[in-house]
Amino acid sequence: MAKPSRPAPKPSLRLLDPFKGVTSSTPPIWLMRQAGRYLPEYREVRAKAGGFLDLCYNPALAAEVTLQPIRRYGFDAAILFADILLVPDALGQGLRFAEGEGPLLDPITSASDLSRLQPSATRPKYALVAETVARLRQDLPKETALIGFCGAPWTVATYMVEGRGSKDHAAARFWAYRDREGFQKLIDILVETSIDYLGQQVKAGADVLQIFDTWAGVLPDDELDRWVVEPTKRIVEGIKASYPDVPIIGFPRGAGAAALWYVSETGVDGLGCDTTMPPYMMGETFQDEPVVVQGNLDPLLLVVGGDAMDERVDEILELMDGKRFIFNLGHGIVPQTPPENVARLVERVRGS
Ligand code: 1CP
């Protein structure tokens, strides 16, 4: 069978260097949530778009807000502007963003609710996201990589089951304990549709993929294996079957010591490290694994800026000098971040 097509890889992407084993004392840099509310130009486009979902499904505007932080800071990568919850939305669960309340979904709480999800109906919405990717492929500077993404099945499921963001993700954890088979069916639907969704992003021009597992850290080890490691491994295998050379970064936030197990079992090419990962582990323990590490400045230090930020940045740079490393935060930029602190960070990392 012919391999699915994708645009020819760009020759000069610094983000890809560490994946090829090419290292430097000036690592590539991008930041999680680098597009968003801390930028006045984002708030302007967001207001013009209407709702948040209208922005995500408008390829011209979604591409525009993806480009904004690249124009300002010249990051080595852009991340597609979308959201992990577009997947349950495309499956037909019904998603809305109420002002000041975050995401709201009609909860799916048992196996019998799964009939509400329609994997075969996702095409039109996934196609809009792929169109954003295709536009970005045209409009990004040739040295800027494009990162496509999805939420990992576990993290997406926590929102689908709870119907909203929560602190303890108890609804999903209860279902997973009480009805393993039923919950597995939900995870299976998410694995399959995520492979399809990420594959469409690569086909449209994404250079690298990231799988966000923001709530991996609430699970005990055996549950983490079942609901985080196994599904991620299946997604990685599914993508690699068609696109073996597209690097995949996993971000199992809060996994702690289990991150080593996650890396060796899932086959991810990159590990997104959260703020709690000690840099010496990033610089030593993981360098014995065939994996690039990414992280992990505390986003709150980016709000504070100044010497406090510089000191920690220097510490990370020193420990990671010459290692397979991508500079990033340990979690997403927060809305109160002063844009000038981001400029200062990029200068510091680039040594300019
Ligand atoms: O404009 C607005 O007011 C909406 C805020 C917003 C933005 C800018 C949301 C709602 N999503 C996004 C974009 C987004 N989300 C991106 C692309 C932009 C970029 O990174 O530059 C990405 C990669 C995400 C991923 C995402 N969405 C995650 C995983 C990463 C993480 O931060 O942990 C999660 C958990 C979500 C869910 C979500 N979407 C939005 C909110 C407020 C939330 C969190 C809800 C909660 O748990 O309370």
Is 37 part of the annotated catalytic residue set? Answer: yes
Is 288 part of the annotated catalytic residue set? Answer: no
- Ligand 1 centroid–CA 30 distance in Å is 16
The partner residues of 251 in beta bridges, in order of sequence, read 212
- State residue 98's pLDDT score: 84
**Domain membership flag for residue 84:** yes
Nearest ligand 1 atom to alpha carbon 253: 33
- State residue 255's pLDDT score: 97
Cβ 34 under 6 angstroms from ligand 1: yes
List, for residues 296-322, the tens digit of each pLDDT value: 999 999 999 999 999 999 999 999 999
- Residue identifier of the C-alpha nearest atom 20 of ligand 1: 33
Q: Which of 112-126, 207-221, 238-252, 274-288 has the lowest mean pLDDT?
A: 274-288
Q: Which strand ranges, in their side-by-side order, compose the sheet holding 248-252? A: 77-79, 145-151, 208-213, 248-252, 270-272, 292-297, 325-329
Nearest ligand 1 atom to alpha carbon 69: 21
Nearest ligand 1 atom to alpha carbon 34: 21
* β-pairing verdict for 145-151 and 270-272: unpaired
Q: What proportion of the chain, given as a percentage, has pLDDT over 90?
A: 91
Which entry of 73, 159, 243, 262 is annotated as an active-site residue?
159
Q: What is the mean pLDDT of residues 192-213?
A: 98
**Domain membership flag for residue 2:** no
List, for residues 272-302, the tens digit of each pLDDT value: 999 999 998 999 888 888 899 999 999 999 9
- Residue identifier of the C-alpha nearest atom 13 of ligand 1: 83
Does position 90 have pLDDT exceeding 60, yes or no?
yes
Q: Per the structure, how many domains does the chain have?
A: 1
List, for residues 251-263, the tens digit of each pLDDT value: 999 999 999 999 9
Q: Which of 83, 99, 211 to mutate to test the pocket of ligand 1 (most atoms within 8 A of CB)?
A: 83
Cβ 335 under 6 angstroms from ligand 1: no
Cβ 36 under 6 angstroms from ligand 1: yes
Distances from the Cα of 272 to the Cα of 251, 330, 349, angstroms: 4, 8, 18
- State residue 33's pLDDT score: 97
CATH code, 109: 3.20.20.210
E strand residue ranges, 123-231: 145-151, 208-213
In DSSP notation, 264-283 reads HHH--SEEE--TTS-HHHHH
Cβ 122 under 6 angstroms from ligand 1: no
Cβ 165 under 6 angstroms from ligand 1: yes
- State residue 105's pLDDT score: 97
- State residue 38's pLDDT score: 97
CA angle 45, 48, 52 (to 5 degrees): 75
Residue 284: domain span: 14-350
In the numeric block, the tokens 């949530």 are attached to: 33
Is 348 part of the annotated catalytic residue set? Answer: no
Does position 198 have pLDDT exceeding 70, yes or no?
yes
- State residue 295's pLDDT score: 97
**Domain membership flag for residue 342:** yes
Q: Does residue 147 contact residue 30 with C-beta atoms inside 8 Å?
A: yes
**Domain membership flag for residue 8:** no
Which entry of 6, 14, 46, 135 is annotated as an active-site residue?
46
Does position 96 have pLDDT exceeding 70, yes or no?
yes
**Domain membership flag for residue 4:** no
Cβ 146 under 6 angstroms from ligand 1: no
Q: What is the mean pLDDT of residues 31-49?
A: 96
**Domain membership flag for residue 300:** yes
Does position 173 have pLDDT exceeding 70, yes or no?
yes
Does position 1 have pLDDT exceeding 70, yes or no?
no
- State residue 3's pLDDT score: 66
User: Which residues neighbour 242 within 8 Å (Cβ) at sequence distance 6 or greater?
Assistant: 3, 4, 199, 202
Cβ 84 under 6 angstroms from ligand 1: yes
Q: What is the mean pLDDT of residues 146-151?
A: 98
Cβ 69 under 6 angstroms from ligand 1: no
- Residue identifier of the C-alpha nearest atom 6 of ligand 1: 36
Q: What proportion of the chain, given as a percentage, has pLDDT over 70?
A: 99
Torsion angle defined by CA atoms of residues 58, 143, 13 and 300, in that order, rounded to the nearest 10 degrees? -70
**Domain membership flag for residue 5:** no
Question: What's the chain's average pLDDT?
Answer: 96
Which entry of 17, 76, 83, 89 is annotated as an active-site residue?
83
Cβ 346 under 6 angstroms from ligand 1: no
**Domain membership flag for residue 1:** no
